[in-house]
Structures are given as C-alpha cells and as structure tokens.
Structure 1
Amino acid sequence: MNFIEFIFQDWAANSTSAKGRVILLLFRIANFCTTRKIYYYLGYPYRIFYKILVEWFFCIEIPWNTKIGRGLRIYHGQGLVLNSQVVIGNYCTLRHCTTIGNKQLPTGAISVSPVIGNYVEVGCNACIIGEITIGDHVTIGCGSVVTKSMPANAVVAGNPAVQIKTRLQAVEVA
C-alpha cells in the first residue's frame, strides 16, 4: 500500500463526517511516520503537531502507534480515548465518549489492552477495558462497560455488559 492509499483508507467510511475524516487523516500520517523507521525522526515534528491538534483541540486521544484496521468510522469524535496497545480490526465504528484501554489489576500491575474484531459497532459512552477480545460483528450498546470477552455476532449492553442477543449470521450468496 503506498502512502496516499494508506492515509486515505478511512476517507470513504467517514463520508458524512468532516471531523472524522480530518482526525483519521492526521492519525494515518502520524501512524505512517511511526511504523516506518526511515520516517521516525523525520516525522517527529509532525507527531508533536498531531498530539497538540488532535488531543488538545479535538479532545480525542488516539496515540499514533495504535494498531487500527481499514475503514474506521468515528461519529461525533468528542471524548474518544484509546490506549496505544489497543488493536482494532477493519470497518469498526466508534462513537463519542468511548474509552478503550487497560485496567489496573488487584496486584497493582497493568493489564493488556483489548483486541477488537472486524465490523464492531461501539455505542456512545462505552468503556471497553482489560485483557479481553471482542469478536467480529459485535454491537456494544451505549453506556456499556465491557470487562469480559465477547463472542462474534453478539449484541451486548449493560454495566457490566452482558450478551443480550446473538445475531443471525449472514448467508453468503455464491
């Protein structure tokens, strides 16, 4: 994937959100600078610019080294916080006031961050924390606190979040 394809991979997914387009374009440029050693030092001034503009002005914390798949969609983009160790799959949707990160364990150690599958929809004001895995095609309801792994095709909601429904899997037409 060349530079232009890389930085515009979320453009179509955010066709109705200019803010989402700008934030993810800035993120992809910073991520490109971080993941290629030759650009690491050349991209340092840009990463400072990114941190100031995205985190301080847009109030969104998406560290430039976070692993995020293609087609991420951000709705409203306010109060979004991701840990740098979070892994997000392809074509996911994140809404405002969402937190995805690690947690402090009773021993005082810090847990690993969540791994989120493909086509996951996260409602506003949701918290996804701890060493958990969210399967593909999962919908997480607004205000949910997810602290346990969820299987694919689940609809989850609540505090703590529980699976309230299983989606029927789509039948592929040949």
Structure 2
Amino acid sequence: MSYLFQDWEANKGNLKGRLVMVLFRLARPASINIFFRMLWLPYLAFYKVFVEWFLCIELPHWTSVGKGLRLFHGQALVVNGCTTIGDNCYLRQSTTIGNIIREDGSFSSSPVIGNNVEIGANVCIIGDIRVGNNVKIGAGSVVVKDIPDNAIVVGNPARIIRINEPVQRMLRIEPEFLQKLG
C-alpha cells in the first residue's frame, strides 16, 4: 500500500498531483509482463483517457519514476515512456522530456534524470542525455547536452550558470572551528 502513496507527501497541498501519481503507481504493474498488462487493460484505458486526455499529463505507465515525484501545476506535461526519472524530482507545467529523431530517421534514447532535480516551467529536455543529481533547470530552458551534478542551468540552449558545492563537503566541519564555537 505504501507503494501507491510514495509520492503523497511530495504533493502535499496538490490534489491533482496526488491523484495523478496514485493513478500512475496503480498502473505500473501492467509494465511487469503481458499477463499483468492484459489483467490491467481496462484500468490502463481509464488511465490513458483520464490522465492524458482530461488532465493533460502524458506520463506513460511504463516510465521509470523514482519515489517522491512532485507535479506542480500538472498541465501540458509530456514525458516519453522510455525516460528515467530519479527520486524526489519536481516537474512543472508545459515541460517536455523525450527523444529526438535523428537524420537517418531513427530515434535517440530518452533522457535519464537524476535524483533531486527541479525542472522549471516550459522546459524541454530531449535526446540521449543525462541530467545529474541535485540539478536545477530554469524555466524555458532547452536541454540537449548532459548536465553534471549540482548544476544550475538556464537558457536556450541550456548553459550552466553555477555549480553548487555538494552538501557533503559543506557539512565537513574542521575540528578547530568546532573548538572555537566551544
């Protein structure tokens, strides 16, 4: 039961986000094998019509999504089913995460989004790229290249404006400093 509600706290105060994530988690068993897919078929039809058509959020049930996904203003959100999203990520409205069509007509792989990533409104993340952990992507950015951990990126094309100091290093306090605090 906790599996269904693993995104509940992350979407506190956001009824639509809570509803979409519970419905998404309930649809996930259909991606296990063909037996579950057939068993879940009526529910998958409901999920597709309700979540995609009425709520305007394309989040295919086979998408790999970590716990704690938060949906802000879930409207016009499109996530490719082959995308991987880590734990504790934030997605805002009008965001597209997907693959691209290469010149030869083949499709690229979909993005891999790390843990603790905040994605602003109207962001487009496309191609066979990796977005690191603890990344913040500003509104309106177009991400077509890998982003390292702890980066803040903005613009079209997205460019790194700052790389934050990892929390682990910031918490390492020298013994002499602690003695001065007394």
The Cα of 1:32 is off from its aligned counterpart by 2.4
Kindly provide the amino acid, as one letter, of the partner of residue 39 in structure 2.
Answer: L
**SS, match of residue 14 in structure 1:** coil
**SS, match of residue 57 in structure 2:** coil
- The equivalent of 2:45 in structure 1 is 48
Q: Does 1:140 pair with 2:137?
A: yes
Q: Mapping of 1:10-25 within 5 angstroms?
A: 10-25=7-22
Per-residue CA shift, 1:50-99, capped at 9, x if unaligned? Answer: 00000000011000100000000000000000000000000000000000
- The equivalent of 2:100 in structure 1 is 103
- The equivalent of 1:39 in structure 2 is 36
**SS, match of residue 152 in structure 2:** strand
The Cα of 1:132 is off from its aligned counterpart by 0.1
- The equivalent of 1:68 in structure 2 is 65
Which consecutive residues of structure 2, in runs of 5 or more, have no partner in the other structure? 174-182
Where does structure 1 differ by over 4 angstroms across 4 or more consecutive aligned residues?
Answer: none
CA contact (8 A) 1:34 1:64 kept: yes
Bigger radius of gyration: 2
Q: TM-score, normalised by structure 1?
A: 0.94
**SS, match of residue 7 in structure 1:** coil
Q: TM-score, normalised by structure 2?
A: 0.90
Query: How many equivalent residue pairs?
Result: 171
- The equivalent of 2:146 in structure 1 is 149
CA contact (8 A) 1:34 1:43 kept: no
Which consecutive residues of structure 1, in runs of 5 or more, have no partner in the other structure? none
* Cα distance in 2, alignment partners of residues 158 and 71 from structure 1: 27
Task: Indicate the percent of aligned positions where both proteins have the same amino acid.
Answer: 49
* Cα distance in 1, alignment partners of residues 88 and 153 from structure 2: 18
The Cα of 1:5 is off from its aligned counterpart by 1.4
**Aligned-residue CA RMSD in angstroms?**
1.4
1:37–1:108 distance in 2 versus 1, CA, 3 Å: closer
